[in-house]
């Protein structure tokens, strides 16, 4: 995408800012961040961190095409589908079918991100019972059935699915989710449950974080059009030449806190400026470096008194990060305790497989002596 090569956020924002109005209420939020970097040859790489205040007990699932899944609504005859595509997924809460992030063999990737205070799901009804699904079902439905974000958009806007507020037992509550999807052609959308229905937004930024809603984040970008990766030259002040201190003066004013609005702006600063290289492999390296900037160690975000005993009663931290090479069908994951990325690809699926294969995330590795790598 051309905007990845721009030297200033000003031109980047000119094509992405749209008018929006939404009341912002202070909220606690899990600090997930997602974005796409595109290599010079057009190869898109999706990157995402997953932060949460309780252990999500995540692993990797290989869900084969032909797998039949029933929506987790508790209905006697729930909506179901048979997967058209193999899906590599990050699962959650020891459930191999609870897909919180992933990529399908058609090169579409995306994730579930927390959306507290703003998610407004549809009410269940007899008229929509055969199209209803739980909030945690939506991402797998999209990855299992479609090849492009445009196909997902058309299906959602045609009312083919209705997401209803069903409690997720692992959380003991209805989870507030919104969804981001990207395809290998460089197109991106955000899907949010608002006003009792699903609303789809084209996402030219290819960035998403948490609350408030997506349109609010686009509007907030306008507050930062002055930012640039280019260092500021000296200036004249009070008949004196004034020089900046060191490097990075073009980013002076870039928010550094871990709130969702600030992370969206920081992600935009990287997407608009990072040199991604010529190939998917180059873009993967760049994506890993950008993900490092959103990694949250245990203790940096701690629950306030009002949150003690609730779902946010533990420190919010980065439990895992992933990258998806959408052109070449490779998915990469690292965990909090094992910071090196491990890869998995669609070549790991067995021909004719009908059952899900699950992998646990790597345990804390021993540090490798540098001398052992010199042989």
Q: Is the pLDDT of residue 16 over 90?
A: no
CATH for 2-373? 3.60.60.10
State the Cα–Cα distance between residues 211 and 199, nearest whole angstrom.
15
Query: And the tokens for 124?
Result: 């269940």
145-195 confidence digits (pLDDT tens): 999 999 999 999 999 999 999 999 999 999 999 999 999 999 999 999 999
Q: Tokens representing 16?
A: 């992405």
Threshold 0.85, pTM exceeds: yes
Token representation of residue 180: 């981001």
Identify the three-state secondary structure at position 13: helix
CA atoms of 327 and 48, how far apart (whole Å):
17
Please name the residues in contact with 58: beta carbons below 8 A apart, sequence gap of 6 or more. Answer: 50, 90, 91, 92, 100, 319, 320, 361
User: What is the per-residue pLDDT across 97-139, written as a single tens digit (0 to 9) for each?
Assistant: 999 999 999 999 999 999 999 999 999 999 999 999 999 999 9
* 188 vs 102: CA distance, rounded Å: 15
- Domain ranges in the chain are 2-373
Reported as a pLDDT band with limits 50, 70 and 90, residue 313 is low
Q: Is 51 helix (H, G, I), strand (E, B) or coil?
A: strand
Q: What is the pLDDT of residue 305?
A: 63
pLDDT at residue 45 greater than cutoff 90: yes
Rounded Cα distance between 127 and 54, Å, is 36
- Read off the pLDDT band of 238 (50, 70, 90): confident
């Amino acid at each position: 995408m051309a905007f990845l090569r721009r030297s200033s956020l000003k031109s980047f924002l000119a094509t992405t800012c749209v008018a929006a109005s939404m009341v912002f209420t202070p909220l606690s939020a899990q600090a997930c961040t997602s974005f796409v970097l595109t290599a010079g040859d057009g190869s898109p790489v999706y990157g995402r961190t997953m932060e949460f205040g309780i252990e999500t007990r995540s692993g990797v699932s290989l869900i084969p095409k032909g797998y039949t899944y029933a929506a987790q609504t508790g209905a006697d005859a729930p909506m179901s589908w048979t997967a058209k595509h193999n899906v590599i997924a990050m699962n959650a809460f020891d459930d191999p079918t609870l897909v919180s992030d992933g990529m399908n063999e058609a090169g579409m990737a995306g994730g579930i991100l927390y959306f507290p205070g703003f998610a407004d799901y549809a009410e269940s009804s007899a008229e929509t019972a055969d199209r209803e699904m739980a909030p945690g079902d939506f991402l797998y439905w999209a990855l299992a059935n479609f090849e492009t974000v445009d196909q997902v958009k058309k299906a959602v806007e045609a009312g083919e699915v209705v997401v209803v507020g069903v409690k997720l037992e692992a959380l003991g509550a209805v989870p507030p989710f919104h969804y981001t999807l990207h395809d290998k052609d460089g197109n991106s959308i955000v899907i949010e449950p608002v006003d009792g229905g699903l609303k789809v937004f084209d996402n030219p930024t290819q960035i998403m974080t948490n609350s408030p809603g997506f349109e609010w984040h686009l509007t907030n970008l306008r507050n930062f059009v002055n930012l640039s990766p280019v260092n500021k030259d000296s200036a004249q002040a009070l008949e004196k030449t004034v020089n900046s201190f060191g490097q990075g003066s073009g980013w002076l004013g870039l928010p550094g806190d871990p709130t969702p609005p600030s992370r969206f702006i920081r992600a935009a600063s990287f997407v608009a400026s990072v040199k991604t290289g010529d190939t998917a492999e180059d873009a993967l390296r760049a994506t890993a470096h950008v993900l490092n900037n959103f990694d949250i160690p245990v203790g940096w975000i701690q629950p306030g008194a009002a949150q003690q005993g609730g779902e946010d009663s533990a420190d919010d931290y980065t439990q895992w990060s992933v990258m998806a090479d959408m052109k070449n069908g490779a998915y990469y994951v690292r965990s909090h305790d094992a910071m090196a990325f491990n890869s998995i690809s669609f070549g790991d699926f067995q021909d004719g497989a009908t059952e899900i294969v699950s992998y646990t995330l790597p345990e804390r590795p021993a540090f490798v002596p540098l001398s052992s790598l010199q042989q």
